[in-house]
Amino acid sequence: MSLSTLSHDQMAAILFRGGSLKIDGRQLRMTSLHSLAATAKNGGARLTITGMGAASASDLEDLAAAGSGAVAFED
């Protein structure tokens, strides 16, 4: 199974259980990214989001706040 085929719920379950993920932010809506960021925080996991070069600074700040230290951005 490829990580790219995981559903939002499957990714959330992994993050909630403390498993860290690296995902392509271009493949998900901002609301899903916010939800996953918060789940990573609550599960003590790390969520690395790639492909966010076109996102606004405000969107990145919102995602960082939702994850409260559990989110990293990678180009």
Separation of CA 64 from chain center: 10
Q: What tens digit of pLDDT does each residue of 11-42 get?
A: 999 999 999 999 999 999 999 999 999 999 99
DSSP 27: G
pLDDT at 3: 72
pLDDT at 39: 98
Task: Decide: pTM greater than 0.95.
Answer: no
- Locate tokens 């901002």: which residue? 30
